[in-house]
Structure 1
Amino acid sequence: MKATFIFLFLVLLFSCQSSEEKQLEKVLTLAGNNRLELEKVLEHYKENEADSLKLRAAKFLIMNMPGHQSYIGKDIEEYYVEAEKIIFSDRKIDEQVNELNNLLLEFPSDDFEFKEDYSVIKADYLIQSIDAAFDDWQQGRWARGITFDEFCEYMLPYKCVEFQAFDDWRNVLKPIANDTLGDFSYNDIWNKTPYHAAEAINIKLRDTVIVDLKKPLKWHALYKVPFWCNIPSNSCETRTNTALAIMRSKGFAVSYDFVLQWPTKAHAHSWLSILIDHDRRMVCEGGHEPFLAALRPGECKGKVYRRTYSPNSALVRLNKEAGSVPSTLRNVFIKDVTDEYATTIDPVFPVLSGKRERKEKYAYLAVFDNAKWVPICFSEIKDSKQIVFDKIEKGAVYLPVYYINGRVRPFNYPALLNEKGELEFLNPDNTSKRSISLKRKYPLTRKAFTTALRLKYSMFQAAHKEDFSDAVTVHTFKEYSVSGSINVSDTTKYRYWRYICPKPYRCNIAELMFLDKDNKKLTGTIIGSEERSKNPHYSRFAAFDLDPLTFFASKTLRDGWVGLDLGKPESVGRIGYMTRNDDNNVRIGDTYELFYWDMDWVSLGKQIADDFSLTFHHVPQNALLLLRNLTRGTDERIFLYKDAKQLWY
């Protein structure tokens, strides 16, 4: 409903080519009874010729005001009152989150009344905001090098985020972390650029905007004094919005940059981009890190956008002309800045003859969010046989689609945009099939990858003596691995078997299985070196409990070990293992289903895992694959299978 109002007004405003004054008059007319307030602002800056630039700025704000909205009315005010009681109470932060989430049941966000800013904003507030922004730009130290156009987009706006309340946010937030800049005036180098000051403040904001929560805050409308630095949310959106408002209050020209959807994992993401001079920017994760030389190196971003105050005319036209528009592209106050972050390609996707939709004016490029395909950009269709998409980052799998009646409709197979900038279409070859072995359903997280490094050069040993003084090494890990099994060629019967980690860090192993020559699981008394903790999740028993989230952790930093006393000498034919992990390895007892994409997901069958890997047969070559755990979890990622390895995208 809110989006409908935005597009209606923007269509009225930009439906024809008009002069600045005509555009301004349209907004003044739309303002209705609030027209006088907007005219007061214009008249105020017309009085003094020295304010001519401020007059231009005021016109910029008013002309581009349609689509910017604010909550009004009794419900939002009551929500603020109740939220303040919760946030400034003595309750623990997780209790606050629970109560704020419950508050949404009493005050559903869809019930909040809202109006266009031009119909409610007051002249005094807008004048005060414009004057403060100009003081920061022209009299401050941190934005002297930027242009007027940059100032209008990234310093001037009277709000930093949609539905932000009209209050004295600049003056309230300005003192935060001021002690960080106290001595900057004594350093001629640091004082000549906003680089060092902005970085220092962002690091200082860690304690202000970073919170540790067990459960997320579902939604909030708390961008308002006095909530700004007290919002119990750990979302990057809240963190970035808060850090941005604090930075702008101090006179930095800052933008909110973001990806609508990561191309290679779930969720969106946002961060700060700070202008340190005209058209020169530095980026940082809002409120807790130094500046970054590059944002998430190695992680494909696909499409990067920047939030703006003025609308994107191409998006306005899309939302006017397209019969159905993805929710990701209904916000017209964004612009594409992908080429600032990555080398981009303009890939050409042929339209398969049987998939052509001649009535459609627009096509979209979608990425997979672990559950569905999400459009992240669009292209106006100029050739019905092939469609060009602008500025796409290499290194991800993209699906070209139409968007009809609220659903994506592919017009070709997904394609990997490879490092050479070429499209590799993933059209499954059902005439050439194979068997594949799978160990995981999701790429390794950084922590899971690091802990699995401990496996390398670790060993399986067997012995006749309890103290392993006569130990025989039956296998040494020479390559990286997260799970699997090794065949034991030594047929000698030994009573004692163990996994030992000789490297200088604690032995960590999540699961072990010793099996005889008939592949039957052997049992015995669990033995091992001293445990690091009395917590049962990290005990010797955790290495044999078939729970990947528990693991043995040794107290010693070298030669920690865990194993079995079989009670009598036994011959072991195979040993299964799993490193400490994120529960995305194949888990024994869980049910899995493998799919491949052939213009929709096609099942290759279900299996209940009885080992640390799964083998599927009759899998088409050149297919995009997806392994789902039907028992638990949501982290599941598309992959290719090449050279007996899963390649994640």
Structure 2
Amino acid sequence: MKTFFAIILVFLLLSCTSSSERIAWIVANQSANKSELTHFLDYYKTKNNRDKYKAACFIIENIPNKYSLNREGEKIYDIDIVKADSLIQSLEYSFLLKEKSPYLKKYTFEQFCEYILPYRVANEPLQYYWKWDCVRWLKGGNSDDIVKTAQNINAQIRIELSPDFYKDTLKTYTSIIQSGCGKCDDRSTLVVMALRSVGIPAAFELIPYWGSSNNGHSFASMILPDDKIVSFQNDNGNENNALPIRKMPKIYRKIYTITPAETFDRYQKIYPELFANCDVLDVTKMHKIGFRTIPIPCPRRKEPIYLSVFSPNSWIPIAISADDNFYDIGTGTQNGEKESEEALDLGNGILYLPSSYINGDIIPLSDPIIVSDNNIYSLHPDTLHKETVILNRKYPLNKRIIRFARDMVGGIFEGANHADFSDAEEIYKITETPKSQMQKVYISTGKKYRYIRYRKPKGIFSIAEFSLYQSNGKPLLFHPISCEAIRKDNNMGNVFDEKILTYYQINGGVDMWIGGDLNGGVNIDAIGFAPRNDDNSIVPTDIYELFYWDEQWNSLGVKKPDGDSAVYRNVPQKALLWLRNLTKGREERPFTYENGRQIWW
């Protein structure tokens, strides 16, 4: 807590004192680690090297807000634990790069300090040796073309990304290298480390939260001498490495310099996490996405105002303003494309809530607004006029999920009484893209079969669930069977585990199949199956609650669905709605109901 208040004081000092005064104050007020900070500065003060001393001052002047998180999520501030010898090693290596790198000759000293010199990249646990260790495992020589060198380095960094790591804190450099897995923040950090280690200025950039789906994203950007950027999203060597096809409200860059804007000078408040440390730079307009200025008149304001985006946990502030305008606010388009490639039925624009932030709470200042390239309008429920809504999902149907379902087109369900299926009869053929949920195919042959299978003659073999039913609707027990090619594959059991999110998929097979042995001829009423999916369709056995927004989320009732859809009556027209699954799941997005369809925001 002491360190936190010290940081606040540093922010206030930044606008009214000289650099030397700020450094003296920082060192004097950090008694716990004063000797290390003093040693570091004195080492360069006596070396008669003006640039190195200036760089050392830059490190200390901007160190108060730097921290990492331990496993419990507690902040460990660098200023309390840094060692002078480690800072010296890091600085010396940076200047060695400055002297030897052919690339850095074109950059200013300020760019060098921001994008090469720092001993850390983001909020990763503190380790210094990455600067000289990355070159140990990087392959290939440097090209005369800085962009090609950066692309080569990026392509070598192959990290297995998984949503299992979303809630984890950032890994150490050592842990990323040894495990080879993590989240996008870990990969972005490692790419920046690798680029800086060979003298290529780079920065960690982030999208705090998507404007069309949950969570956020980060990536690495190489900084060119003219401050233009080349971004790296993945390791595929694609020169464009375009941003993901999702709606982006804001893009920020993590920087080492403490940058208290006018907003922070005017108000002495507690700020949301994104802005609390004054270490992000708004770089939205440097990327190829749609953005615009948004006027939000708010007279007699005593605190900054924010634009917040929806998350299932709370609205999240992603933009801050000290006046009546928000600048460079994302509109949801990318490279001039109007049609979203992300999901079906996405609305035109991004949903924002003008809000304030008081004692850790988001306080609405007006109705939510939709911001698009050519329009800004608010969403206010018409409580005098009601309607009936028929809801099929709680989250947008991603086009990736549709592709998984399309992989089942051409698949055939067959019945037989010989184990080798030599007497196989076609029961049903999938000719159109099936729904991305559990569904039934009813059998009208009137014949008894011992064996039932799902066979894909060619192409991708992909299926999440397979089941058989009696005429009373109850499941039939059977022994799982499959073709010899996948019989010993442990993942094959996913198809029969009654867990809709697990699946089996293999590419390029011929006549791949799975099925069931009923241990005798049986009349089968229906076959149940599900493509690989996201389990965000309505599930008849789950419990749901619908909300509408009117200064807060107001419940419209808890209920079980009516089959594959949830029907709600007496819903205010023109309302912003949110359907929650109270039984399971975490993926949920708000929507409006327009012309009988859910339009997602």
Query: Which TM-score applies when normalising by structure 1?
Result: 0.73
Please tell me whether the aligned partners of residues 258 and 304 of structure 1 are also in contact (alpha carbons under 8 angstroms). Answer: yes
Shift of 1:435: 2.9
Aligned to 1:393: 330
- Match of 1:506, SS? strand
Q: Distance in 2 between matches of 1:528 and 1:427?
A: 53
- Match of 2:548, SS? strand
User: Could you list the per-position Cα deviations for residues 419-458 of structure 1 after superposition, in whole angstroms to 9, with x for gaps in the alignment?
Assistant: x341232222334433333332223456533211135466
Q: Distance in 1 between matches of 2:67 and 2:504?
A: 55
Shift of 1:254: 1.1
- Match of 1:150, SS? helix
Please tell me whether the aligned partners of residues 262 and 369 of structure 1 are also in contact (alpha carbons under 8 angstroms). Answer: no
Aligned to 1:89: none
Equivalent residue in structure 1 for 2:115, among 154, 162, 166 = 154
2:320 pairs with 1:366: no
- Match of 1:311, SS? coil
Show the 5 A alignment for 1:510-529.
510=465, 521=473
User: Could you list the per-position Cα deviations for residues 287-323 of structure 1 after superposition, in whole angstroms to 9, with x for gaps in the alignment?
Assistant: x4435625434212211111112112217x5277143
User: Could you list the per-position Cα deviations for residues 362-418 of structure 1 after superposition, in whole angstroms to 9, with x for gaps in the alignment?
Assistant: 1101111232111011111x4xxxx42111111221111111221111122222222
The structure-2 alpha-carbon separation of the partners of 1:164 and 1:510, relative to structure 1 and needing over 3 Å to count, comes to closer
- Match of 1:170, SS? helix
Show the 5 A alignment for 1:45-56.
47=48, 51-56=49-54
Aligned to 1:64: 62
Please tell me whether the aligned partners of residues 526 and 540 of structure 1 are also in contact (alpha carbons under 8 angstroms). Answer: no
Aligned to 1:608: 560
Q: Structure 2: state its 5+ residue gaps.
A: 333-349
Please tell me whether the aligned partners of residues 292 and 331 of structure 2 are also in contact (alpha carbons under 8 angstroms). Answer: no
Aligned to 1:87: none
Q: Distance in 1 between matches of 2:475 and 2:521?
A: 9
Please tell me whether the aligned partners of residues 561 and 567 of structure 2 are also in contact (alpha carbons under 8 angstroms). Answer: no
Please tell me whether the aligned partners of residues 465 and 528 of structure 2 are also in contact (alpha carbons under 8 angstroms). Answer: no
Paired residue type of 1:625: L
Q: Distance in 1 between matches of 2:422 and 2:217?
A: 53
The structure-2 alpha-carbon separation of the partners of 1:479 and 1:145, relative to structure 1 and needing over 3 Å to count, comes to same
Q: Distance in 1 between matches of 2:462 and 2:207?
A: 39
Aligned to 1:579: 531
Aligned to 1:284: 232
Q: Distance in 1 between matches of 2:599 and 2:528?
A: 23
Equivalent residue in structure 2 for 1:313, among 260, 268, 274 = 260
Q: Distance in 2 between matches of 1:564 and 1:234?
A: 41
- Match of 2:309, SS? strand
Aligned to 1:92: none
Q: Which has the higher strand share?
A: 2
Q: Distance in 1 between matches of 2:360 and 2:226?
A: 41
User: Could you list the per-position Cα deviations for residues 14-62 of structure 1 after superposition, in whole angstroms to 9, with x for gaps in the alignment?
Assistant: 2x2x5556556655665786585465356446x3xxx554454444444
Q: Distance in 2 between matches of 1:346 and 1:11?
A: 30
- Match of 1:5, SS? helix
Q: Distance in 1 between matches of 2:446 and 2:598?
A: 36
Q: Distance in 2 between matches of 1:546 and 1:120?
A: 52
User: Could you list the per-position Cα deviations for residues 193-220 of structure 1 after superposition, in whole angstroms to 9, with x for gaps in the alignment?
Assistant: 12222222222232xx558796778447
- Match of 1:313, SS? coil
Aligned to 1:116: 79
Q: Distance in 1 between matches of 2:67 and 2:413?
A: 65
Identity of aligned residues (%): 25
Q: Distance in 2 between matches of 1:410 and 1:404?
A: 11
Aligned to 1:450: 403
Aligned to 1:188: none
- Match of 1:605, SS? strand
Shift of 1:633: 1.8
Which moved further from structure 2: 233-242 or 531-540? 531-540
Please tell me whether the aligned partners of residues 151 and 239 of structure 2 are also in contact (alpha carbons under 8 angstroms). Answer: no
Equivalent residue in structure 1 for 2:549, among 572, 584, 597 = 597
Show the 5 A alignment for 1:176-325.
176-178=136-138, 180-182=139-141, 184=142, 191-206=143-158, 210=160, 218-219=168-169, 222=172, 229-230=177-178, 234-285=182-233, 288-290=235-237, 293-314=240-261, 317-318=263-264, 321-325=267-271
Please tell me whether the aligned partners of residues 410 and 456 of structure 2 are also in contact (alpha carbons under 8 angstroms). Answer: yes
Please tell me whether the aligned partners of residues 347 and 423 of structure 1 are also in contact (alpha carbons under 8 angstroms). Answer: no
- Match of 2:209, SS? coil
The structure-2 alpha-carbon separation of the partners of 1:376 and 1:503, relative to structure 1 and needing over 3 Å to count, comes to same
Please tell me whether the aligned partners of residues 247 and 254 of structure 1 are also in contact (alpha carbons under 8 angstroms). Answer: yes
Please tell me whether the aligned partners of residues 452 and 481 of structure 1 are also in contact (alpha carbons under 8 angstroms). Answer: yes
Aligned to 1:95: none
Please tell me whether the aligned partners of residues 523 and 564 of structure 1 are also in contact (alpha carbons under 8 angstroms). Answer: no
Shift of 1:338: 0.8
Please tell me whether the aligned partners of residues 593 and 629 of structure 1 are also in contact (alpha carbons under 8 angstroms). Answer: yes
Equivalent residue in structure 2 for 1:434, among 382, 387, 390 = 387
Q: Distance in 2 between matches of 1:512 and 1:439?
A: 23
The number of aligned residues is 571
Please tell me whether the aligned partners of residues 161 and 184 of structure 2 are also in contact (alpha carbons under 8 angstroms). Answer: no
Show the 5 A alignment for 1:477-556.
477-478=431-432, 481-483=435-437, 494-495=446-447, 504-506=459-461, 508=463, 510=465, 521=473, 530=482, 532-533=486-487, 538=492, 542=496, 547-549=499-501
- Match of 2:327, SS? coil
The structure-2 alpha-carbon separation of the partners of 1:601 and 1:165, relative to structure 1 and needing over 3 Å to count, comes to closer
- Match of 2:106, SS? coil
Paired residue type of 1:646: Q
The structure-2 alpha-carbon separation of the partners of 1:462 and 1:548, relative to structure 1 and needing over 3 Å to count, comes to same
User: Could you list the per-position Cα deviations for residues 313-336 of structure 1 after superposition, in whole angstroms to 9, with x for gaps in the alignment?
Assistant: 217x52771434212220211110
Shift of 1:263: 2.6
Please tell me whether the aligned partners of residues 123 and 170 of structure 2 are also in contact (alpha carbons under 8 angstroms). Answer: no
Q: Distance in 1 between matches of 2:54 and 2:494?
A: 72
User: Could you list the per-position Cα deviations for residues 323-370 of structure 1 after superposition, in whole angstroms to 9, with x for gaps in the alignment?
Assistant: 34212220211110011124343343556xxxx784533110111123
- Match of 2:277, SS? coil
Q: Distance in 1 between matches of 2:459 and 2:128?
A: 57
Shift of 1:619: 2.8
Please tell me whether the aligned partners of residues 402 and 411 of structure 1 are also in contact (alpha carbons under 8 angstroms). Answer: yes
Q: Distance in 1 between matches of 2:187 and 2:279?
A: 20
Please tell me whether the aligned partners of residues 366 and 399 of structure 1 are also in contact (alpha carbons under 8 angstroms). Answer: yes
Q: Structure 1: state its 5+ residue gaps.
A: 72-99, 185-190
Query: Which TM-score applies when normalising by structure 2?
Result: 0.78
Aligned to 1:175: 135
Q: Distance in 2 between matches of 1:644 and 1:305?
A: 38
Paired residue type of 1:290: G
Paired residue type of 2:586: T
User: Could you list the per-position Cα deviations for residues 226-259 of structure 1 after superposition, in whole angstroms to 9, with x for gaps in the alignment?
Assistant: 6673478613333332332233222121111112
Paired residue type of 2:254: R
Aligned to 1:416: 370
Please tell me whether the aligned partners of residues 232 and 241 of structure 2 are also in contact (alpha carbons under 8 angstroms). Answer: no
The structure-2 alpha-carbon separation of the partners of 1:533 and 1:613, relative to structure 1 and needing over 3 Å to count, comes to farther
Please tell me whether the aligned partners of residues 27 and 63 of structure 1 are also in contact (alpha carbons under 8 angstroms). Answer: yes
2:357 pairs with 1:403: yes
The structure-2 alpha-carbon separation of the partners of 1:513 and 1:277, relative to structure 1 and needing over 3 Å to count, comes to farther
Paired residue type of 1:406: G
Q: Distance in 2 between matches of 1:212 and 1:367?
A: 24
Q: CA RMSD in A?
A: 4.5
Paired residue type of 1:148: F
- Match of 1:181, SS? coil
Paired residue type of 1:454: D
The structure-2 alpha-carbon separation of the partners of 1:494 and 1:65, relative to structure 1 and needing over 3 Å to count, comes to same
Q: Distance in 2 between matches of 1:530 and 1:635?
A: 33
The structure-2 alpha-carbon separation of the partners of 1:548 and 1:361, relative to structure 1 and needing over 3 Å to count, comes to same
The structure-2 alpha-carbon separation of the partners of 1:260 and 1:468, relative to structure 1 and needing over 3 Å to count, comes to same
- Match of 2:585, SS? coil
Aligned to 1:94: none
